[in-house]
Amino acid sequence: MVGVPGRSKGCSTCKRRKKRCDLQQPTCINCTKSGFVCGGYARDLVFVHVAEKGRGQYKPSSEPREPLKAISLADVRCKELNRTALELGLLNAFWRIYLPKDALLAVHSYEGPSSVVRWAQYTCRYVSESDMLRCALLALSVNKLGRMNRDRAKIEQGIELYGRALQQLAETMRSSKCRNRFDALVACRLLALYEELNDSITSGRNWGRHINGLVEFIQIRPPEIYALPGKHEIFLEARYNGFIAALTDRRPSFLASTDWTTKPWTGRTKTPTDTIMDVLVQLPSLISALDSITVSIEDPGLESRVTMIKAQCWRLHNLLQTWNEDFTTTNSDLLHQLQQWPGEENMSAQDQLPEMLAKHHLSLLYAMTLYWAGCIVLLRAMAPLYVMFPATDPLEIEPVSLLHTNVNKYCLQILRSAPYFYEPEAGLAAAMSISFPVGCVARVIQYQKLPATEDDHDEDLEHLERAMEGLELMSGATWVSRSESGAELLTGPMLQEQEQMAGRWAGRYRVACSKCPFESGIPSLS
């Protein structure tokens, strides 16, 4: 019946006028045609008089109520104050853990905050405008804090928020108009970071999917747009993680092209980290070329291809050494004792290099660890290549013979550097940034434990293992995790699938590569 509470579902205006409502949302057509303001479909307040004469009577509210509007999860102004305060508290608690303390901001860059700090600032700026971004950041924050405090309820809340962010990201990717949204880039990075801090079996696979999605979003736009503030910082995050994903998948990356190593820095000055990354992003294409040999061992043109791959190896080797020389020249006032490295007579000064760089600029030490990690990846690739296809040029034989010695030097330098990134003041971001270089060292140690090699390098292996064990004892070594058996060392989510990749290649050439004094296969690094 019209106008009877509990029976009529019409809008408040039609019930007051005692007209039949067509129930159209958000406003009924009857009110619109008649020139009335539709009062919406919310139930009117009913005031019941409880006096003896008025018991059981009611009087509807005479003023029409405005229709209710859907409240966006991202609009903090429409939320209860206690909920808003809780969310802000969670986000602030996470950033306090993740970012370096104020005392270290100066040593993370040459001018102003580091790129990771600027990325966090731009992320927080966009949170209030994007429901997807807010859910992703809350999922990351709640999950990390829940795991730190062993709070199962928070962990489950983080999983729920993660699923909601995934759903919204999937809807964004299906829409061609929304694929250019900047918040989709940041959401991909946050969800990948969520997986990096997760310890589930599927974390490695999920991390790779998020990073690949992030890189695809990056490629949609022209490279010069990433020279703009805010977009440049997310590009740096995408380039570093995209490089690791490409190296893990053993496939070339468009990030190594000239446009993508120059145009995003239009009007900017490259840091040492930027310049060493310009070299490292070329490594995945080399690894892919090495893999191509495995499927064409009977190819009549194999010899010429091997010659080209060797030339590519030495080209990258020269680029790495040129970077090291430029780095030393630029910081000559700081590194004057190290001009002659790696000469054995200067090893005492070389041992002090991590400490010297960390005291001056932690960003300098970070760039140097990436250089050492790049050398390890390259030399691990070159060693088995020269076992299968020995050098005939006398000029090549001597450098090849030094591969193993140099790799161990680089490993020790990384392990000497890692503690500076695990200091509480450096933040979780610094500890995670060193996971790739330390992961390279873990792979070297893992290989040297193989029966075919452990007898040859017991002393070097013990030295590396002692240094690695020292890192595991540090409270800031967040990248270290143990399996149930206590025997597995995880240095990042991508390592969980690397064993299968390494086994496929090494299995084909086990006999030939077992003769190598260093490696048993083309590297599969994280």
Assess whether 277 and 227 both reside in one domain: no
Domain-terminating residue out of 249, 265, 281: 265
* 227-244 burial: b if 16+ Cβ within 10 Å, else e: beebbbbbbbbbbbbbbb
Q: What is the CATH number of the domain that holds 53?
A: 4.10.240
Domain-terminating residue out of 209, 235, 265: 265
Assess whether 374 and 454 both reside in one domain: yes
Assess whether 317 and 431 both reside in one domain: yes
Q: Is the pLDDT of residue 492 over 70?
A: no
Look-up of token digits 């890189």: 215
Assess whether 99 and 170 both reside in one domain: yes
Helix (H, G, I), strand (E, B) or coil at 419: helix
The predicted model gives 198-214 an average pLDDT of 85
Structural element, H or E, at residue 211: helix 203-220
Confidence band of 260 (pLDDT split at 50, 70, 90): very high
Assess whether 287 and 337 both reside in one domain: yes
Can you spell out the DSSP letters for 61-110? -SSPPPPP-PPPTT-GGGS-HHHHHHHHHHHHHHHHHHSPPHHHHGGG-S
Confidence band of 129 (pLDDT split at 50, 70, 90): confident
CA distance to 9, 10, 39, per residue, from 59 (Å): 18, 17, 17
**Closest residue by Cα to residue 289 from 271, 267, 273, 307:** 307
Q: Is residue 522 part of a domain?
A: no
Q: Is residue 2 part of a domain?
A: no
Q: Is the pLDDT of residue 84 over 70?
A: yes
Q: Is 0.75 topped by the overall pTM?
A: no
The predicted model gives 125-147 an average pLDDT of 88
Q: Is the pLDDT of residue 328 over 80?
A: yes
Assess whether 174 and 224 both reside in one domain: yes
pLDDT value at position 59? 54
Assess whether 116 and 53 both reside in one domain: no
% of the chain at pLDDT higher than 90: 22
C-alpha dihedral (189, 195, 197, 199), degrees to nearest 10: -170
pLDDT value at position 51? 58
pLDDT value at position 361? 80
Look-up of token digits 């859907």: 70
Q: Is the pLDDT of residue 223 over 90?
A: yes
d(CA 433, CA 428): 9
Q: How remote is the C-alpha of 44 from its chain's centroid?
A: 51
pLDDT value at position 468? 60
Residues pairing with 48 in the sheet: 58
C-alpha dihedral (34, 39, 45, 51), degrees to nearest 10: -20
Q: Is residue 412 part of a domain?
A: yes
pLDDT value at position 382? 84
Confidence band of 88 (pLDDT split at 50, 70, 90): confident
- Per-residue pLDDT of 462-473, as tens digits, reads 666 666 665 554
Assess whether 155 and 233 both reside in one domain: yes
Assess whether 243 and 277 both reside in one domain: no
Q: Is residue 521 part of a domain?
A: no
Range of the domain at 295: 272-513
Q: Is residue 497 part of a domain?
A: yes
Q: Is residue 233 part of a domain?
A: yes
* 31-60 burial: b if 16+ Cβ within 10 Å, else e: beeeebebbbbeebeeeeeeeeeeeeeeee
Q: Output 107 or 183, whichever has higher pLDDT.
A: 183
* 488-522 burial: b if 16+ Cβ within 10 Å, else e: ebbbbbbbbebeebbeebbeebeeebeebebbbbb
Q: Is residue 74 part of a domain?
A: no
pLDDT value at position 264? 96
Helix (H, G, I), strand (E, B) or coil at 59: strand
Whether the Cβ atoms of residue 522 and residue 381 lie closer than 8 Å to each other = yes
Q: Is residue 518 part of a domain?
A: no
Assess whether 350 and 404 both reside in one domain: yes
Question: What is the overall mean pLDDT for the chain?
Answer: 74
Q: How many domains does the chain have?
A: 3
Domain-terminating residue out of 247, 265, 283: 265
pLDDT value at position 111? 41
pLDDT value at position 175? 74
The predicted model gives 425-443 an average pLDDT of 87
Assess whether 463 and 340 both reside in one domain: yes
Assess whether 305 and 452 both reside in one domain: yes
pLDDT value at position 274? 95
